[in-house]
């Protein structure tokens, strides 16, 4: 699962300096001004949906309902209308109402700042739960999506097969001071430079450190 030494300190330092020239991932940007409830619901909306669309749809939904109580006042059909055309919008509308019901029933209408309690909510996986903790509550957590998983393995920092394995491996070897920011940095890198296919290695600020594991062609 673990790979040999990769200079993660140098990589993080470079990305801290270089990534601010790109737009922040939408959930990270929301974490600066929005509530944990907003972060939770927006993250649900963002699954299998591009940031550009999430950034339009989430504010539209919150303009009509920005608390669990207000969300339950909307029908599932109305939520579906508001969040269309995000991926799986009907399923997400149903999950949003179920989440709001449980937040009221179990947590007094508040989003819990606890990983296990978040994972017990419908449609909430480890990526979503960790992002709520880090972006919503400024608590330690490692949010691993496809970008973090792909890039850590491409670098040669890890050898893992799934995002969940990557999260567990990072919990063992990644310095705690990098936990909260690694998702934002690597999502930005992945969206703009380190693409799944044909990454822009010639423009990558960490190219000199990267082992390009699995990269068959690049630009």
Catalytic residue numbers, as ranges: 127, 145
Please tell me whether residues 19 and 94 are part of one structural domain: no
Give domain status of residue 125, yes or no: yes
* C-alpha to C-alpha distance for 191 and 147, rounded to whole angstroms: 8
157-162's contacts with Cβ under 8 Å and 24+ in sequence apart are 157/3, 157/6, 157/8, 158/1, 158/2, 158/3, 159/1, 159/2, 159/3, 160/1
Please tell me whether residues 91 and 110 are part of one structural domain: yes
Please tell me whether residues 155 and 113 are part of one structural domain: no
pLDDT in tens, the chain (219 residues): 565 589 999 999 999 999 999 988 887 777 666 899 999 999 999 998 988 999 999 999 999 999 999 999 999 999 999 999 999 999 999 999 999 999 999 999 999 999 999 999 999 999 999 999 999 999 999 999 999 999 999 999 999 999 999 999 999 999 999 999 999 999 999 999 999 999 999 999 999 999 999 999 899
Give domain status of residue 211, yes or no: no
Please tell me whether residues 40 and 105 are part of one structural domain: yes
Give me the pLDDT at residue 57, please: 96
Give domain status of residue 216, yes or no: no
Please tell me whether residues 95 and 176 are part of one structural domain: no
Give domain status of residue 3, yes or no: no
Prior bond of 85 cis (ω within 30°): yes
Burial class (CB in 10 A: 0-12, 13-18, 19+), 64: middle
Give domain status of residue 44, yes or no: yes
Give domain status of residue 162, yes or no: yes
CB 48 within 8 A of CB 87: yes
> Can you give the CATH number for the domain in which 87 is found?
1.10.340.30
Whole domain around residue 149: which residue ranges?
A: 8-23+142-203
Please tell me whether residues 125 and 153 are part of one structural domain: no
Give me the pLDDT at residue 32, please: 65
Please tell me whether residues 103 and 120 are part of one structural domain: yes
Question: How many distinct structural domains can be found in the chain?
Answer: 2
Please tell me whether residues 52 and 103 are part of one structural domain: yes
Please tell me whether residues 63 and 150 are part of one structural domain: no
Please tell me whether residues 71 and 54 are part of one structural domain: yes
């Amino acid at each position: 699962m673990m790979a040999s030494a990769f200079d993660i300190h140098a990589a993080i330092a470079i990305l801290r300096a270089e990534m601010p020239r790109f737009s922040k991932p939408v959930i990270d940007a929301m974490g600066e001004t929005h509530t944990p409830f907003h972060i939770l619901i927006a993250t649900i909306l963002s699954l299998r949906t591009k940031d550009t669309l999430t950034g339009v749809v989430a504010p539209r939904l919150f303009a009509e309902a920005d608390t669990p109580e207000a969300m339950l006042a909307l029908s599932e059909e109305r939520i579906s209308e508001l969040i269309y055309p995000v991926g799986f919008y009907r399923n997400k509308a149903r999950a949003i109402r179920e989440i709001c019901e449980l937040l009221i029933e179990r947590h007094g209408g508040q989003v819990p700042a606890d990983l296990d309690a978040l994972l017990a909510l419908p449609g909430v996986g480890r990526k979503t739960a960790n992002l709520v903790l880090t972006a919503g509550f400024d608590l330690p957590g490692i949010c691993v999506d496809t970008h973090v998983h792909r890039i850590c393995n491409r670098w040669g920092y890890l050898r893992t097969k799934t995002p969940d394995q990557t999260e567990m491996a990072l919990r063992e070897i990644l310095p705690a001071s990098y936990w909260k920011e690694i998702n934002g940095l690597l999502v930005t890198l992945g969206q703009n430079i380190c693409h799944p296919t044909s990454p822009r290695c010639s423009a990558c600020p960490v190219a000199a450190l990267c082992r390009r594991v699995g990269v068959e062609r690049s630009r």
